[in-house]
Structure 1
């Protein structure tokens, strides 16, 4: 089984990348590839830009990664209550190539933020919209107050109860 994991953020210090990397490490005996959205940077999508450029190679490369997976693990950063511009832009380009971006694959969605909201707004938006784009959402989990709940030095969840939730949630990809 192969899982593609990524944070829907292009921040070099993304807490969502830290979370998704940790969560992916909990999938034992699974081939996991953690992507960095910075490897798929594209110009701001518009029909004019699409007419000018066609479908960029990085959009095709990201779609190929999704197609190569048996399942997906995504952690959403929240910017002003919604998707990050980096994720939304990449998604817009890829959806022009293949409207079913997520290829009818099982998906687990995570989110985190520094505050107690845990990026729940963007997580809810993703959970509601992703099935229209070919995602079989198996589960969602918001991790609130990242810096209080995650040990960045050791790369793991501090509180056993929350850690159990993360492990149980991501293991749904193996079913």
Structure 2
């Protein structure tokens, strides 16, 4: 075996035992399946725009609040908002009380799209997780939620 191949196998063996790597594998599978369903439905969004649409489905937020909620920097959020505004999915208005703030809300088209995405995400989750029994799904969700709750305290 060549040195490079040996180095790769050593790296691969170590990383395949990593908790982070296994979580990444699950995420990649779920995202790949969801993206395929979105493409089939003619939904053309970049991955970083999706959380903004879904967050705004419940209520309007300032750009700063969206940045905090999504844990993304202001310039990244601004790029996504500008792209969504060009697609007529969001509306940006100055805050009536604080003119320094921009309030972002979904347009009617954005609301309709968010509903479609929510249904596609549910379908994708059901299809991807169909390999598990109901009991396994429930236990996995409880375990993952517990991990996420504990990590949120860091």
TM-score band (shorter)? 0.3 to 0.5
Q: Where is the strand percentage greater, Structure 1 or Structure 2?
A: 1
TM-score, length basis structure 1: 0.29
Q: Which protein is bigger by CA-based radius of gyration?
A: 2
